[in-house]
Structure 1
């Protein structure tokens, strides 16, 4: 399909394209008329493959497209977009679907000024998504890319899930792995489950439930649970960091909804609700209790800027405090846009000062999670910088770097990696291979390789970054050591546990010599060593390391600090693998009590520890019922 013009293209003598209504990484979506039946439909056309694209990656894109047609067509449910037809026209694949009149959840949030949705809307949308997921999961299908952009709310309030391009059928795991392993994104970082980051073959329907938790978190607070600027930091957050409870961002959120979202975001699949039906049962009473949020614009006691930013009134006589962390970013965006407009009027639209303000606005859009707008803004600034300053100017390269990061956030991982690699090469040529900006881009390239599953290349890139920093900054500089830690984490993800152990041993020795044996970074390296010792089956050594690190962390951080408790649990896990269940029970009980005191009885970490206790009791012949929605994380 070399050229497409409104009204000129007739696919298979039946579908006349009328208006392009969307464009994405895989192609375009058109409003069209089905002339055979006299109805309007949506036609999704796969973009033509670039001559420079890896042929295997192109075949994967085509297979994903065909797969979307097959999977969606096999799911006749009111909560799933209906597929009418599939075909090929002049070498281009196309998919004919029902035309949805509404907004996807990403645009719904944008239309709401980045503000969270009313509680009643959150619970209603959640219930409809959950109903559709229960239907797909019952048929052995896992969506694997559930995110706001893939959920549409129609004008009548109905909700539909779309884009099953990387869905997995329970009986053809190997085939789906090939679809997602050839340079094609297999999820979006802000909504990926911890298990998607690591071993792909272990993904099941509970991965969709984690992604649902991320979506609900964003609808309820205005931002995803790990809203960082760096994609790798987002993935590490999913894997290692407990999310901040939504009620800390939005105190009016019902406690039951707060708890459900946190349960969905449990790191271990066994600690989440075990089915979409379980989630539906917990949502039912919340839907009845949810009431619309008060309109902030109707609060006369707040100044206009506070009402726009979604802030909450404080007690009389006190300053207004932020109701959620996005408020300051929203205000910053308005400021940058005002400054850019003023500078454009005074200095011209292509003046470096104008472009600097526009670039700050683009960066802030990214902080707000409005990545499509950020991408468009960066593209506009980049074109102006190339005209005004040239393609190799440091400011131009800075903008291209940010554009690559934004592509990654949009799920266009392969495109992001290509651009980041180009920027890295340009920065090395212009600034030098050892310049901090060059190394920053090399780091972005490495984590994009990680996301693409190109583990060997990622390892080489991490190794190169560590070596470059060692040469430029010194082998014992904190940034050099931080790069080596990332290399160790990559080795662990590759299953190279012995190599990871050797690296963490060396890293811990250097950290101890440079910063002291009880420095948090020294203990972090030793913790990594202990984890990989366990993966090697060296449980006695892993136990000794976990105990030593836990004792040191207790001295430095306190007995109830999260890191201390994580190390105590690692020691208990090792005891379980060694068959020392009495001792494991005592230690799991201590961790559970500490977590309950700090986090509360309903926190996922507390429930995980109670579940660990339950399995110990079962091993000792004293069965105990685990907490609802939780299961043991001990070895079987």
Structure 2
């Protein structure tokens, strides 16, 4: 195939950039589009395959290639095209500028990589695996050579679906004398070795092998014979990585060992959970011990007796390094993790720490309360920093499973959900709920509270059906154990009412909100803040139903009641005034809305400051209504100012920042500057897709905006294609109940 030089009259092969058991990878030029690509050419099918098998294999290749091409994630290599030429199957992929992890280890003379690099790679690979596993796709041959780190630091996984093709064609490595098809021995899971059915947890085991090698310079079972390597994976506990590299943080060692558990159910449940653990280690300040622990016990002989006398052979790439180099960096500070060790064999753990001093716990309780106060003031980013620090110290003093530690992590999750990091919040809440269920029981109020918050962030992430299922299951327990009128039961019903609107069940949402408002008024009183919150929800439901005059009246009643009960400057009072402005705008009364927003901006600035998120929200409302009045130059200026402040204060990926960018695009469009508008619309759509997924409702809305802009630019063909893609994604989402 290499001699052909031109494939299908389009892809010109330039030079070989890689070879393996399945074929070659070429750097090539796509003559049609004028771009460089990578072409993976699988070896031609041999004469030992009969025609019927070949037909099945070709169809299998097309199916697997379509699956690979459908993967859209920054951590997965893009597949552009596939086909067959001169009897050989080929894939056309993006040409990556970077080094695979095997090459990185070689570049580093097979010394372990710096800890921050390992953690960054682990987090990015976990995110990519979480995405692909959600699509029902298992890689099956994850290894350093299949993971590439680009020059900008992005990490990408290659060859999804190709491992299974290789097994069919017969080009994968085989154990001598066994005839058992396999992947790469150093990175195979025990269930792969045993010929059992594999699922996503097999990829997690392989990732553990990769991380072990990055962290120590050697694979977990660095033995000379393939059979010895496989038996090591199947039967032998891995040596703790810190026996190779003493400076490795304890949390990272524990993550790697958990991934290398022999039984799939003993590993992290999925890549999302793994990412949460890695992210928590990155974001929670590590406890820095003041007392140096004793020297670790001497290494025990771990290999079974039948392997004695075996010599260590070369690993998959390069030469083994048994000790860290003298200049190895300390990396992240180590931390003791007081938690049960899972896996097939016990590992050394530190001595049980003494009971923590009361004054230290009292100080932490005070700092915890300070974090709560910051959150009540809407200073969620600062509150999150406080709670993360308190969580780290409580974890050290009390342990991972202590109720106080879990309370701090619950509050960390709360601040994450309020700062636009819903996915991170979901990981934290899920962890807290799981541990509370194990420690306190499934029906304990604290367990239910954590589960209820997971439903809330599922709603934020555009997964209302999953949120509905969690809410209804929590509500059933609350009604049975607490009663229908208990405040916590009513709070759950309130949240369920809001989520019903996300599911499009607007009438059901309105009826439930009315029922909860009536019950809260009866139990708590008509002016209780919780009653007013639900009446606020009734107004929202009315707006969703298009009953804006009734919504306006209800919002006004809530605002007046809050001003009397809470004061005119209370955040809840000001929030109701903001919604009055929304209702006025919807009713075409933009001049009144404009005056309301100017007054609200003055009050918000006086109470909270000019850069507070709610002040900026009021300014955003002002800009929207300037546009409705046809004052587009003023609207564009206001949107750009608000967007710049939001990007600085909240970050470029925050939902509010993206809303401002969209409003900038709207203004540019109305001013006839469609090319500039397209840039803004596309940025919003790409960012939402990266953060929320391609089929999230907000992403789809942004793609529709992009398609409309393409139409205005006379690029009708591109617009039609994008509209079709959006419609198909929406159809798939609806068919799966999303």
Does TM-score exceed 0.5, indicating one fold?
Answer: no
Structure number with bigger Rg: 2
Q: Which of 1 and 2 has higher RCO (CA within 8 Å, sep 6+)?
A: 1
TM-score relative to the length of structure 1: 0.43
TM-score relative to the length of structure 2: 0.38
